[in-house]
Amino acid sequence: MSRGNLHRRLERLEASARSGPSGRCPECGLPPDGPGRIVLIDGGTPAEGFPDDPGECCSRCGRPLWCVVRLVYGEEGEGAIADA
């Protein structure tokens, strides 16, 4: 194994250790490209477990911790409108 190849492998290993398993933040556990934890507001009433601050972000990676989905029902036949 060449020295350059060993150096590249070591850099990848160190980067992986810094970013946590499969790129997830070690503090919040969220993936780099996924949404925050999903919480629902149905009929104006927050679901159980709704966060105190839905705009809260992880202090380590800066990703939003919550993805708030507000369900709004219209007239019959119009379907539902999701406000995320």
Q: What is the pLDDT of residue 14?
A: 73
| Percentages (nearest 5) of helix, strand, coil residues in the chain | 25, 25, 50
pTM check: above 0.75: no
Query: Do residues 19 and 46 lie in contact, with contact meaning Cβ atoms separated by under 8 Å?
Result: no
Q: What is the pLDDT of residue 23?
A: 74
Q: Return the beta strands (E) in 2-59 as ranges.
A: 37-42, 45-46
Domain boundaries, the chain: 3-83
CA triplet 14, 17, 21: central angle to 5 degrees? Answer: 140
Q: What is the pLDDT of residue 57?
A: 92
- Cβ neighbors of 20 (< 8 A, separation 6 or more) are 26, 29
Q: Which of 68, 73, 69 is nearest to 81 (CA)?
A: 73
Q: What average pLDDT values come out for the chain (84 residues) when binned by 10 residues?
A: 78 67 79 83 73 87 88 64 55
